[in-house]
Amino acid sequence: MSVPERRKALITGASRGIGRAIAKMLASAGCDLYMTCHKNIAMLERLAEELRKRYRIKCYCYVFSICDEDKVIEMYHDIPYLDILVNNAGISYIGLLTDMTYQQWQEVIDTNLNACFLTCRYAVPKMVMRHQGKIINISSVWGTVGASMEVAYSASKGGINAFTRALAKELAPSNIQVNAVACGMIDTDMNKCFDEEEIKILIQEIPADRVGHPEEVAELVKLLCTGNEYLTGQIITLDGGWT
């Protein structure tokens, strides 16, 4: 009797925070993983070893700038087929637009939006070949409502939302679903820039009266990776009722 193929998932920005939680969640579901990060090779490899031992899966690590097309192509050469792509890698810049350099603007747009184009560009043919696939983009509420002092980040996430809706329409005939999770305030290193008092003020505006946990994002991503083939092109907000 033939052994069924394991599902294979690619997760960008997997060394910490939301990406790390998603990697653990998909590993627990029996997926083989391809994980990327920009710099934290030791952290990523420790995670991979933990997941291999605990879930008996295959786990591959890649450390490079997710905006580097040559490196992305090289990574995809290692992936025979792909069932799930989670575009999670992202950075932010907090400050006045007039204090931001063009290089800083480009870095945010490249990492948050252009990298999403690259990973999808080379994932889609592998999914179309099998007439199935799930693409989940990690977005933000700021992509919908915009955030003062985070213009580049808001613009990049707004772009992700439009990208998600458009690509979902393009790929629906091929039975590939594309959705996004628009996160509110999640307890990750990206929010370490806020002090305790600022966090308290922000929480006062959240009906759930707390910040979200990376594991809650991971649970929603796992749900989007299930067999529902009619749910596509959606920006699903996860923000404790804030918007």
Active site (catalytic) residues: 153
φ, ψ of residue 199 to 5 degrees: the values are: -65, -40
Q: What angle (nearest 5°) sits at the alpha carbon of residue 121, between those of residues 118 and 126?
A: 130
Q: How far apart are CA 210 and CA 64, in angstroms?
A: 34
Q: Nearest-CA neighbor of 158 among 170, 168, 147, 174?
A: 147
Q: How far apart are CA 132 and CA 233, in angstroms?
A: 15
Query: Do residues 100 and 153 touch, judged by C-beta distance below 8 A?
Result: no
- Number of Cβ atoms within 10 Å of the Cβ of 30: 11
Q: How far apart are CA 238 and CA 18, in angstroms?
A: 13
Question: Taking the alpha carbons of 121, 134, 92, 37 in that order, is the dihedral positive or negative?
Answer: negative
Q: Provide the 8-state DSSP code for 48.
A: H
